[in-house]
Amino acid sequence: MADHAAPPADVQEQETRMLRDSIRGFMARELTEARIAECEAAGDLPWEMVGALRQFGYLGGLLPEEAGGYGLSYRTWAMMMEEAGYRWLSLRVLLNTVNIVIALLHHLGDARQKEKWLKPVMAGEMPVWVGITEPDHGSDVASVQTRADDKGDHWLINGGKLWTTNGVNGRVGILVARTFTEGCEGDLSLFIVDPEETRFEASRVGTMFIKATATSQLAFRDARVPRENLLGPAGKGLKAILTGLNYGRLNVAAGATGAAQRALDLSIDYVRTRRQFGNVIGRYQLVQKLIVDMTVRTEAARALTDRAAQALDAGLPGRKECSIAKLYASEAAHEVASMALQAHGGLGYSTDYPVERLFRDTRGGLIPEGTSEIQTLIIGREILGISAFT
């Protein structure tokens, strides 16, 4: 980050509002409901949509300016992820994936790796994936079984990944694998997998939510990865991935808050105009109770997300704060979306209206980056100093 004094708080707030308004206007113009519906039906979000957001700092914006980033604060980043979630949660998910890849390449990559992969990824030219979850191992990252054996000039990879975002479209991916080499007997490492260098199978997996993210299954059978594609030291991948997951929890919380706000805004507009029994339905007490409950949950989610971002900005690990934000915001967003469906009545079920998609997509937020149950155990460990993980 450039060495200069931070601007006054009121100037920072004004700059953040201007950035938010620019992002909101761009997304409203470029990501219309009609275009989103086309992408959902096709099961793909064209990568140029992701690349178009580079101008706002969505690709590597947290990196320091000398590394090609914008030196953004986590509070500003959370606002940006909230705007992405407000417009479309599939977009938020892809932005999370690409920025995890950017962060790992920036912090662990050598000069060659940064030149070959980091630059085009940050330019929005190279679709990416991150392979962590396996058919038998999800929340328990430390137990993944995909194996990398040292064969001298290359690594031999065997295993499989599941629920991999954008796996069928990615031009580069980062794979987590248990590594066997001299000095490393089964610890986790990270590998850069380029389909031009490594042959593996990628197939789509149908899901009920985030339909445009090309969720995939990957299969590696004696797949050769060049030796120089090891990312960072052998056996040191677990800490890097867990750090990335913590950052990802802030992104999930912010995106969930945005989705909740969208569901609330749609509901407010609807109950102000929909008439039943001679009145707009917003006049009825039970409908007002729905709107108030939705508002309370949305504002609480935003406050907890902001608290997590402030912890990261202060240089703290933020494990408890990010897990609290992710736990509450993801659950609150689905509750708000459910209330929005109730407020809209039959219209809420229509696939031609965004409430139905919000209901499905917010349910998805309760599982990735650690389920609600895993967040509960992380928070308990941070509070008590006693781990329930065995």
Q: What residues act catalytically?
A: 369
How many C-beta atoms surround the C-beta of residue 215 within 10 A? 22
Tokens representing 228? 């120089």
Per-residue b/e over 131-168, b at no fewer than 16 CB within 10 Å? bbbbeebbbebeebebbbebeeebbbbebbbbbbbbbb
**Ramachandran angles phi, psi of 188, nearest 5°:** -85, 140
C-alpha to C-alpha distance for 100 and 166, rounded to whole angstroms: 13
How many C-beta atoms surround the C-beta of residue 195 within 10 A? 12
Asked whether 176 and 146 are in contact (CB, 8 A), the reply is yes
Residue indicated by tokens 């990865």: 225
C-alpha to C-alpha distance for 105 and 355, rounded to whole angstroms: 37
C-alpha to C-alpha distance for 155 and 65, rounded to whole angstroms: 34
Asked whether 95 and 81 are in contact (CB, 8 A), the reply is yes
